[in-house]
Structure 1
């Protein structure tokens, strides 16, 4: 098991994704990615507006 496989395994075990079906896991991952994009966009706008 290499480093990337260990991180994926840790992610699945930490959030309990190992007990979900493949489509439920995919849906959860899509929601997480979309939320991270919103947060990243908010943070970049914050830095553009108030820091730089």
Structure 2
């Protein structure tokens, strides 16, 4: 088991995804990706607005 496989396994065990069906796991991962996109967008807007203001 290489490093990437271990991290995927740890992700599945941490969030309990190992007991879900493939479509439930896919739906959860899509929601996580969308949430991360919103977070990254918010952080970049925050940096542009407040950090580069100085």
Give TM-score, length-normalised by structure 2: 0.95
RMSD between aligned residues: 0.2
Equivalenced residues, count: 52
Question: If you compute each CA radius of gyration, which structure gives the higher value, 1 or 2?
Answer: 2
Give TM-score, length-normalised by structure 1: 0.99
Runs in 1 of length 4+ with deviation above 3 angstroms?
none
Structure 2 gaps, min length 5: none
Structure 1 gaps, min length 5: none
